[in-house]
Amino acid sequence: MKTLSVIANNLNQSNFLVDVAEEFHTSIFERGERIYLEANETLFSEGEQANRCYMVLKGHLKLTKLHEQGKTVVVRYINPGELIAAIAVFKEKNYPVTAEAADAVEVIGWNKQAMMDLMTEFPQLAVNMLRVVVDRLDDVQNRYLELYAEQVEQRIARALLRFMQQFGRKTDNGVLIDFRLSRQELAEYTGTTLYTVSRTLSAWEKKGWVISRRERITVSNPHALVLFAENR
């Protein structure tokens, strides 16, 4: 299967496939539907009936939620190898968020019956899914504490460090956050305004902590950002 050769490294990091022998991956993928998205295309929208859960094979998904006052909030970015929407599918609910391609994306989607059959055949998948749910709850709790207990510049620093760890690629100038990330999206993720993000990044760029270009951010001094995030 061509996909396996393209995303082998990502699969090795997939929480969903932990302890499932690689020889079974092809069989697992063949039970689902492969979908390709260009940047900014929508995989599913908030409020739609959740009929499939998905694993990202290549690229990154941006999950957003619409506030009741009409403001869009970036909830999370999904890496290759990560699973999304499983709980909504199993509970036969609507999708709680909108999933949009942050760049060119390839996913595999399974409906509820296909996932039930897979977990019966490969019980380790059920264990792994539980771990995924627990990890997401931990992430939600951490984000909640950041939003309500930290100053905005601290939240921006933590967000950049988180993205650096998840999506970072070393370059001559530092660690590039290797997906499209606009200042507006960073503002929506950290619960602040475009003006505040722009002001903060400009100040950090003068200090040599980051390099900010159009929809691309490089962390040139991670140590300085860590000290700033921890000591505010």
State pLDDT tens for residues 41-63: 999 999 999 999 999 999 999 99
The b/e string for 123-152 (b: 16+ C-beta within 10 A; e otherwise) is eebeebbeebeeebeeeeeebeebeeebeb
Class of 152-231 per CATH? mainly alpha
Mean pLDDT to the nearest integer, 219-225: 95
- pLDDT of residue 198 exceeding 60, the answer is yes
Distance CA 180, CA 177 (A): 8
Contact between 88 and 99 under an 8 Å Cβ cutoff? The reply is: no
pLDDT at residue 9 in the model: 47
Query: pLDDT band at residue 6, thresholds of 50, 70 and 90?
Result: very low
Bridge partners of 213, per DSSP, are: 216
SS3 per residue for the chain:
CHHHHHHHHHHHCCCCCCCCCHHHHHHHHHCCEEEEECCCCEEECCCCECCCEEEEEECCEEEEEECCCCCEEEEEEECCCCEECHHHHHCCCECCCEEEECCCEEEEEECHHHHHHHHHHCHHHHHHHHHHHHHHHHHHHHHHHHHHHCCHHHHHHHHHHHHHHHHEEEECCEEEECCCCCHHHHHHHHCCCHHHHHHHHHHHHHHCCEEEECCEEEECCHHHHHHHHHHC
pLDDT at residue 232 in the model: 62
- pLDDT of residue 5 exceeding 60, the answer is no
Domain with CATH 2.60.120.10 in the chain: 2-147
- pLDDT of residue 2 exceeding 50, the answer is no
Q: Which fold has domain 2-147?
A: Jelly Rolls (2.60.120)
Mean pLDDT to the nearest integer, 148-169: 89
Domain with CATH 1.10.10.10 in the chain: 152-231
Distance CA 23, CA 79 (A): 23
In tens, the pLDDT along 176-192 reads 998 889 999 999 999 89
Mean pLDDT to the nearest integer, 121-146: 85
User: How many CB atoms are located within 10 Å of the residue 195 CB?
Assistant: 10
φ and ψ of 215, to 5 deg: 60, 20
Please report, rounded to a whole number, the percentage of residues in the chain having pLDDT higher than 90. Answer: 67
Mean pLDDT to the nearest integer, 20-31: 91
* pTM of structure: 0.82
Mean pLDDT to the nearest integer, 70-98: 91
pLDDT at residue 8 in the model: 44
The b/e string for 67-78 (b: 16+ C-beta within 10 A; e otherwise) is eeeeeeebbbbb
- pLDDT of residue 10 exceeding 70, the answer is no
